[in-house]
Chain A
Amino acid sequence: SQQGEEDPQALSIQEGENATMNCSYKTSINNLQWYRQNSGRGLVHLILIRSNEREKHSGRLRVTLDTSKKSSSLLITASRAADTASYFCATDEKNRDDKIIFGKGTRLHILP
């Protein structure tokens, strides 16, 4: 079963609007990471948030982590056409360093 699962599976919004994607996971973690993938390309690391952090910012990206709910959200503000991509969360398991699991991703489409 998936450790991390993103929601929604797909999202279409108008350019300029904010996009929010969620990730839920099952076990306690050390870190949670968000990656972006443009169609057919390799994944690009966006941001890493540690289990003792609650919020992190990077440019137009804001990530929150709620370990009590085992969930994270990725907010992209003032979306642009170039943000059209799939977004994945990746989690490990606390006290293990031998496995990292990616969710199936959220496909984000920014409409002009």
Chain B
Amino acid sequence: DSGVTQTPKHLITATGQRVTLRCSPRSGDLSVYWYQQSLDQGLQFLIQYYNGEERAKGNILERFSAQQFPDLHSELNLSSLELGDSALYFCASAQLALTDTQYFGPGTRLTVL
């Protein structure tokens, strides 16, 4: 158990819908990262938050947004969902810097029908 929790575990929804994925980092970790993992694209870095502020952006679509709250939990919002958004979404946390060891949550499997 990494200490990072993600909810929900599975999510099945329809195209055009909007969903919110939630992540709670390990106690004491200030950084939260979001990744998307699909079969054809591999593990793609989406975005990083550090202590409530956006720190780095990767291959995140404009339809996607995220935030980190004062209690350090984070949410990833996916809107206008398309079939291609079906993937595993992972959250990871680390103490400080991007190059610290990242601890991954169990992931949320999103299926868009």
Residues of A bordering B, CB below 8 Å = 2, 30-31, 33, 35, 40-45, 48, 88, 92, 97-105
Report yes or no: B56 in contact with A48, Cβ–Cβ below 8 A. Answer: no
Closest residue of chain A to B6 (Cβ to Cβ) is A42
**What range describes how many residues of B lie at the interface?**
20 to 34
Min CB distance A10 to B, Å, is 14
Taking a contact as CB atoms closer than 8 A, the residue among B58, B90, B99, B101 that contacts A92 in the complex is: B99
Contacts of A42 in B (CB 8 A): 2, 4, 90, 92, 104-107
Report yes or no: A104 in contact with B99, Cβ–Cβ below 8 A. Answer: no
Report yes or no: B97 in contact with A97, Cβ–Cβ below 8 A. Answer: yes
Taking a contact as CB atoms closer than 8 A, the residue among B90, B98, B99 that contacts A43 in the complex is: B90
Contacts of B97 in A (CB 8 A): 97
Min CB distance B21 to A, Å, is 14
Report yes or no: B42 in contact with A45, Cβ–Cβ below 8 A. Answer: no
Residues of B bordering A, CB below 8 Å = 2, 4, 35, 42-43, 45, 48, 55-56, 58, 88, 90, 92, 97-99, 101-107, 109
Docked Cα-Cα span, A102 to B59, in Å, equals 13
Contacts of A104 in B (CB 8 A): 42-43
Contacts of B102 in A (CB 8 A): 43, 45, 100
